[in-house]
Amino acid sequence: MTLSVGSPVAGRVVSLTEVPDPVFAQAMVGPGIAVEPDRVAADVVSPVDGTIVTLHPHAFVVATESGAGVLVHLGIDTVKRKGEGFTLHVVKGETVRAGQAVVSWDPAEVEAAGFSPICPVVALDAPADSLGEFSEGATVAVGDQLFSWQR
Amino acid sequence: MADEKAEKILAALGGASNIIEIEPCITRLRCELEDGSVVDEKALKALGAHGVMRQGNVVQVIVGPEADTIASDIEDLL
């Protein structure tokens, strides 16, 4: 089956290699793409239907029923914000629909604090050739497809 | 089994006495160590780490999404 992975944020889609963090740029935890978010306060939504299996203020993983894990990371090194500026709308273990608000944040505030607000969206442990239809270079709204994942 | 993995990771990081702080961040363990030079990168990779990044005594071990679980298993051993 093909899983469509939607954008958790509005912005401009760029290659994962543009993320200023080697873990993401070198796809160490899986292939994917990144979104340079619009610099306005916004809700971050789930990219797929599934369950919130990992939840931090600045990052989360949604696992689909078939076990596909999609990681959304809000900015780089933002763990150092200790949750400041992030408002969670779900709890760990909660079932979510694609497009459902998970957390609110303000990319402009993150940037002003000295962090890159870029958002890597990663297909955890996926073979690189299982992803396709990348929307790299596109300007996306929340929920627009970022890539498809053959499973 | 999981605890055994945590034990081995702890050993590869130089043991409990070398740990100042371990903080999980979704895909990685951020480890602040007394001495970063003693870290056994080969052992960490053999234990399934996708990568190890060193910046002096701050060593990040990329373990994937189970980072939270591993970190709390290691905390239990400290």
Q: Name the nearest CA neighbour of B67 among A117, A139, A29.
A: A29
Looking at the structure of chain B, the number of domains it has is 1
Please check whether residue B45 touches A, CB under 8 A: no
Name the residue ranges covered by the structural domains of chain A.
Answer: 6-129
Selected for mutation to probe chain B from A16, A21, A28 (highest B CB count within 10 Å) is A28
Contact assignment for B26 to A71 by CB distance below 8 Å: yes
Distance CA A84, CA A57 (A): 8
The sheet carrying A87-88 orders its strands as: A42-45, A101-105, A87-88
User: Could you say which of A23, A26, A53 has the minimum Cβ distance to residue B28?
Assistant: A23
Strand A87-88 with A101-105, pairing: antiparallel
Residues B3-53 pLDDT 10s:
789 999 999 999 999 999 998 888 899 999 999 999 999 999 999 999 999
The answer to whether the CB of B62 falls within 8 A of the CB of B49 is yes
Domain containing B57 equals 2-77
Distance CA A68, CA A124 (A): 7
Contact assignment for B25 to A29 by CB distance below 8 Å: no
Question: What's the token pair of residue B38?
Answer: 């003693």
Q: Name the nearest CA neighbour of A56 among A96, A87, A34.
A: A87
Written out in words, the top-level CATH class of the domain with range A6-129 is mainly beta
DSSP of chain A, one letter per residue? -EEEEEPSS-EEEE-GGGSSSHHHHTTSS--EEEEEE-SS-EEEE-SSSEEEEEEETTEEEEE-TT--EEEEE-SSSGGGGTTTT-EE-S-TT-EE-TT-EEEEE-HHHHHHTT----EEEEETT--GGGEE---TT-EE-TT-EEEEEE-
Closest chain B residue to A21, measured at CA: B53
Which distant-in-sequence residues (6+ apart) come within 8 Å of B45 by Cβ? B51, B52
Q: Which residues of B touch A56 (CB under 8 A)?
A: 25-26
Q: What are phi and psi of A33, to 5 degrees?
A: -155, 175
Instruction: Provide the 10 A C-beta neighbour count for residue A82.
Output: 10
The answer to whether the CB of B63 falls within 8 A of the CB of B70 is yes
Q: Give the pLDDT confidence score for residue A59 in this predicted structure.
A: 95
Mean pLDDT of B61-66: 88
Residues A8-50 pLDDT 10s:
999 999 999 999 998 999 998 999 999 999 999 999 999 999 9
Active-site residue, selected from the candidate residues A56, A58, A73, A89:
A73
Distance CA A30, CA A32 (A): 7
Decide: helix, strand or coil at residue B53: strand
Q: What is the mean pLDDT of each run of 10 residues along chain A (151 residues)?
A: 96 97 92 98 98 94 95 94 95 97 98 97 94 96 98 90
**CATH code (residue B60):** 3.30.1360.60
Question: What's the token pair of residue B47?
Answer: 């234990």
Please check whether residue B51 touches A, CB under 8 A: yes
